[in-house]
Amino acid sequence: MENKRTLSFAQMVNLSFGFFGVQIAYALQSANISRIFATLGADPHQLSFFWILPPLMGMIVQPLIGKYSDRTWCRLGRRKPYLLVGAIVAVLVMLLLPNAGSLNLSTAWIFLGLNAAMWFGLFSLIFLDTSINVAMQPFKMMVGDMVSEQQKTQAYSIQSFLCNAGSLFGYLFPIFFTWIGIANEAPEGQVPPSVITSFYVGAAILIVCVLYTFVKVKEMPPAEYKEFHGIKDEPEGKGDGLVALLFKAPRTFWTVGLVQFFCWAAFLYMWTYSNGAIAYNCWNKAADTASKAYQDAGNWVGVVFAVQAVGSIIWASVLPRFRNVKSAYVLSLLLGAAGFASIFFIHDKFLICGSYLLIGAAWAAMLALPFTLLTNALEGNPYMGSYLGLFNCTICLPQIVAAATGGLVMRLVGNSQPAMLVLAGCLLAAGALCVRFIGKKQ
């Protein structure tokens, strides 16, 4: 197709609008999981282990979603059936997870050092992240399917904007509900009502937003899709398996993946240790998870994460203006590195917002630029969804490595959670250095 159709701004918004709701769910998970499990009794050195579950489930689920959605051509669409099923399951789990602490801890059985409430929370977290991954990945694939190379940076920037707008709501929900009078404290071992209410409201918004995209977007039929992407040879039978596709992956897949490794390990540390770092630096070394100071710090984590989302929204509007995608990538990651490093030295809760504003620049780039580079390199490839699913492993694997080693690394830096965020800054700087290995289209 020589003159590929151009999507209007509204059409590109519709394509990713459901991502707004999905990201509210993801933001609630990111900002509150460490808080929830610390409240349920987890030791700070154990917190990173709980963060192994989300990326592990993503690493398993998203390649399969990509593989099977590549072959799904039905009346409901190609990618849309998966995002709808994922959203429905995510809503159900969001109603369960924050209630983990309501189990009777006085009679809870002990197994492998975890009480009943924590086991309930763990299984809920597994199902929540699995369903979020099922709902999230089709949005990235639909942009790759339906948007031309010339519009992809803009389309993924719109998706990044909606993603961060959703994050903004999700991060601020706990402190907002506290402000309007919902209790932010609870008996020891139980999750505060402000957090529970946040999950309930987030679940409602999630399903509404996903249904909007489901109704408004019409995916291409097979013949039009092949013409749009210049696909001449349709894979026969079942086609190549996921392992075989890895051996055939373009070099861009691996070089962008190398950058991804450093970036996502850094953000895993942010999600895991921001609560403890802010409680230590800005709330007079608050460590008692049942204390008002610790829970206030937990609410403030939502605020600084919301500031990060604002920074991402602003920076996402700037990214399409860069003529050189790689230069934009490097600058974004270096700004984020500076933000992470500065947290160690700041002890005022308002000043620390500036650190997270800078981190937002890195987050905006991570959401938009890798997928722009990869989907352009995959143009004309019939396995677009499979490759995007496999590419998610470059997001999940670094988080698993960082989570598995987090407790050990924390001991090496003097058991300091603020120091873990300095290390996150060093990882982003390393990612910026690796951008030079990425080619334009290879």
| Lowest-confidence segment of 38-47, 181-190, 261-270, 289-298 by average pLDDT | 38-47
Q: Which of 36-40, 124-128, 240-244, 401-405 has the highest mean pLDDT?
A: 401-405
Domain locations along the chain: 9-232+240-437
pLDDT tens across 318-338, in order?
888 888 888 999 999 999 999
pLDDT band at 65 (very low <50, low <70, confident <90, very high): confident
Residue 365 and residue 160: Cα distance in Å, rounded? 8
Report the pLDDT value the prediction gives residue 1, as an integer from 0 to 100.
47
Task: Report residue 88 as tokens.
Answer: 């429905």
pLDDT digits (tens, 9 = 90+) for 218-230: 888 888 888 887 7
Is the pLDDT assigned to residue 287 strictly greater than 80? Answer: no
Mean pLDDT of 80-109: 75
Question: What's the pLDDT score for residue 110?
Answer: 45
The band of 156, judged by pLDDT with boundaries at 50, 70 and 90, is confident
The Cα 75–Cα 393 span in angstroms is 30
Reference 406, options 88, 78, 49; nearest CA is 49
At residue 34, does pLDDT exceed 80?
no
> Is pLDDT larger for residue 110 or for residue 213?
213
The distance from CA 20 to its chain's CA centroid, rounded to whole angstroms, is 12
pLDDT band at 108 (very low <50, low <70, confident <90, very high): very low
Over residues 365-385, the mean pLDDT reads 81
Q: Which residues are CB-contacts of 304 (< 8 A; sequence separation ≥ 6)? A: 274, 278, 352, 353, 355, 356
| Assigned CATH topology for domain 9-232+240-437 | Growth Hormone; Chain: A; (1.20.1250)
Backbone conformation region of residue 431, classed left if phi is above 0, alpha if psi is from -120 to 50, else beta: alpha
Share of the chain above pLDDT 70, in %: 88
In terms of pLDDT, which residue wins out, 124 or 311? 311
Evaluate if residue 234 carries a pLDDT over 50.
yes
Residue 354's pLDDT is 96
